[in-house]
Amino acid sequence: MTLQHWTLLDTKHGIYQETFDFSCGDVNISKRRLHGGRSDGVDIVRIDNGKLAVFLLPTRGMGLWKVLCGDVELKWDSPASGPVHPALVPVSDPGGLGWLEGFDEWLVRCGLESNGSPEFNADGSLRYPLHGRIANLPAHSLALSFEPETGKIMLTGKVLESKLFFKKLELTSTLAVTAGSTEWTVQDTITNLSSEPGEFELLYHINTGQPFAAPGSKVAVPFDLMTPRTRAAAENLPHWDTLCPEMPGSEEVVFFFEPAGNADGECQTMLTNPKGSRGLGLSFSVKEFPYFCFWKSRLANTDGYVCGMEPCVNFPNTKSFEKKHDRVVPLKPGESKTFGLRFDILTDTPSVQKREKEISGIAGLRKIEPQPKKEWSE
């Protein structure tokens, strides 16, 4: 089998391709560096397999900026108006919320040292910023491969999150797409490169906004246990799975889950458009991701109307709270842990209904606690 391979970035060996173009049949792959405004210096890779186009950002922790498939647009209108270069994102702002100034991607990772609410030291100084640093760190390695016989495309990047005396964690992320398919996968491996024991937190923000996710859109999640995160979420509990009209000035609502899996341990979730004629499928292993969050921002679209499907290894509370409840993942020296996400776009009503039936067939206890669970929410 023929394998074509290109190194687009390798800082160790001084390799960097600012532009790249490749075409084979319906497959078109390109790499560009953006210029101007807050996007200046951001690298973007566009992979078009003839059915869908994925836009990946090596400069921003290997996040996915958006995905397009026919009339389906997986994106959201963030006030950050990015992609924003990490150098312009004040992650360590004393207030702890600087991360929000770069929050623009459709898929963004939260972690690795921490991934939840900001946490402060006793003297008021910032200890851990909101959602961590991995999304605002650039890849130091980027490699592309293509198999003409199978049409399989793989883009692999490596991102290092390190600090002298404290941590040395590396993210290796591979996006895989096959020509002519409406499916794609993301496989991530977290490795402790230090000779000392390490630990990490990890949550994936998968953020979809208008026009796909709009008032009347629904999410389907099989679960054993679900609870609202806050009182505001508790008030929205009867409508937890449905997106409501825009409510300027409203508080975000979040629901926490123990997701349920099928006989193979796979959890299948889906977000549908208001008509139920299009769907976004997201599948993952409940062994890899024992928790799941569903986030709804009900603001006006100009201010960030969006919902988030969030597989995670811990809930997005402060790290101290999560560590107290044993939801921070330890890593031995040299140890790695791998996580996989599978996405697919459902392009008609019958395929959406078929997926709904598959999800409803996953046995789950479906226990709902009407108020925030003290072990899950600070």
Strand partners, 156: 143, 174
**Rounded alpha-carbon distances, angstroms, from residue 272 to 211, 213, 220, 299, 345:** 11, 7, 8, 20, 10
Q: What's the pLDDT score for residue 166?
A: 86
Rg of the chain, C-alpha, whole Å = 20
Q: Name the token pair of 269.
A: 């979730």
Amino acid 2: pLDDT? 84
How do the pLDDT tens digits run along the chain, 378 residues long? 789 999 999 999 999 999 999 999 999 999 999 999 999 999 999 999 999 999 999 999 999 999 999 999 999 999 999 999 999 999 999 999 999 999 999 999 999 999 999 999 999 999 999 999 999 999 999 999 999 999 999 999 999 999 988 889 999 999 999 999 999 999 999 999 999 999 999 999 999 999 999 999 999 999 999 999 999 999 999 999 999 999 999 999 999 999 999 999 999 999 999 999 999 999 999 999 999 999 999 999 999 999 999 999 999 999 999 999 999 999 999 999 999 999 999 999 999 999 999 999 998 899 999 999 999 999
pLDDT number for residue 6: 98
Domains of the chain in start order, with CATH, are 4-368 (2.70.98.10)
pLDDT at 116: 94
Beta bridge partners of 63: 57
3-state secondary structure of 232: helix
The string of DSSP codes covering 296-320 is EE-S-GGG--EEEEEEESS-SS-HH
Phi-psi region of 135 (alpha: psi -120 to 50; beta: other; left: phi over 0): alpha
Whole-angstrom Cα distance, residue 244 to residue 269? 19
